[in-house]
Amino acid sequence: MSILLDTTLAVRDYAALPAEARAAEAAGFAGLWTEETAHDPFLPLMLAATATERASLGTAIAVAFARTPMATAEAAWDLQAASGGRFILGLGTQVRGHVERRFGVRWSAPAPRLRGYLLCLRAIFACWQHDAPPSFRGEHYQFTLMTPFFNPGPLVYPWRDARGEVKGVPVWIAGVNERLCRLAGELCDGFHVHPLHSTKYLQDVTLPNIERGARRTGRSLADVQRMSTAFVITGDTPDELARARAATRRQIAFYASTPSYRPVLALHGWGAVADELTNLSRQGEWQAMADLITDDMLAAFSVEGPPAQIATLLRHKYEGLLDRVSMYLPYAPGEAYHRLAARIVGAT
């Protein structure tokens, strides 16, 4: 399987996390990712960095606007050093409600602000790795001071991009809309495709816009790696498949109720369903939302089959579209899903 199969590390017990990371690597997963949900996304990866040897380690995602570029740069630099060059910094913007009400940060148009954030990050990395002067000034961020006392110095194992340029840490962003896809193509090393996607959306919207952005800086689509988390419906018995199908309907309904993700459904002619999901979410009608997700929607947004066929199904769906893919549920040794995941990895 040319597409790399990754997994998400679940943060249940920090004391057990190093062993879980080792087990995931031993099972054959190529990359281990963390999320910014109920836990900080960077801290678990420091434990994983010292417990593993081969797998890449990344945030999918860390909320950019919840941190200054300098705070993010320091965490990324330390993780790149601790992992021997295996870290991937994945950033996302989050929606307005969470930025303002959960993180307590002022909201502004995300694409221009993220552009400044990325340029500031690159300026910091260049200063530390290449002794470039701290001279970035933008609308939202600036970096004009760096003294030896605060400079961690160059990485022993810096990351090089596809053209051999030493950049220190690869920077990916996540997104759905066309502007963030173009921004990834222009400035980033990779792009996290949102789990709510279809091959049609990848072919018609995501990849063409990444390529448009890449051309602005003399690059191509091949310079930007792509990965996503796929909804996988699998099981050994009819009951297991039914439970997985129901859980996937609920998760798709939850994501599709967010207005920012409406274009994904609208591309398939399901815009009115997206609007109804948004209204139902405001009323807390979660089961009614799941009932709106049809079999056609499940087929468009997920992969379904017995464990022995999942690897082939993922390859057929994403070959030529993505470089890496993970399954939506996290890695959890000893649980039924882990047993299925291990069999899927083995089939690759």
Contact assessment for residue 61 and residue 90, using Cβ atoms and an 8 Å cutoff: yes
What average pLDDT does range 136-143 have in this prediction?
A: 97
Question: Which residue, 115, 92, 121, 97, is CA-closest to 107?
Answer: 97
Query: 337: pLDDT confidence band, cut at 50, 70 and 90?
Result: low
What average pLDDT does range 260-288 have in this prediction?
A: 96
How many other CB atoms are there within 10 angstroms of residue 110's CB atom? Answer: 23
Give the span between the Cα atoms of 326 and 111, in whole angstroms. 26
For residue 271, how many C-alpha atoms fall within 13 Å in the half-sphere facing its CB?
4
How many other CB atoms are there within 10 angstroms of residue 85's CB atom? Answer: 16
What average pLDDT does range 119-146 have in this prediction?
A: 98
Apex CA 318: angle with CA 313 and CA 323, to 5°?
125
Whether the pLDDT of residue 343 is over 80: the answer is no
What average pLDDT does range 145-160 have in this prediction?
A: 97
Between 341 and 238, the higher pLDDT residue: 238
Question: Which residue, 1, 2, 72, is CA-closest to 225?
Answer: 2
Query: 340: pLDDT confidence band, cut at 50, 70 and 90?
Result: low
Whether the pLDDT of residue 331 is over 70: the answer is no
How many other CB atoms are there within 10 angstroms of residue 28's CB atom? Answer: 16
pLDDT in tens, 67-101: 999 999 999 999 999 999 999 999 999 989 999 99
Which alpha helices (DSSP H) does the chain contain, by range? 17-27, 43-51, 69-82, 96-97, 110-130, 178-187, 199-201, 207-216, 238-256, 262-266, 271-282, 286-291, 295-301, 307-318, 336-347
Which pLDDT value is given to residue 339? 60
The domains located in the chain, with CATH, are 4-235+305-347 (3.20.20.30), 236-301 (no CATH)
pLDDT in tens, 184-203: 999 999 999 999 999 999 99
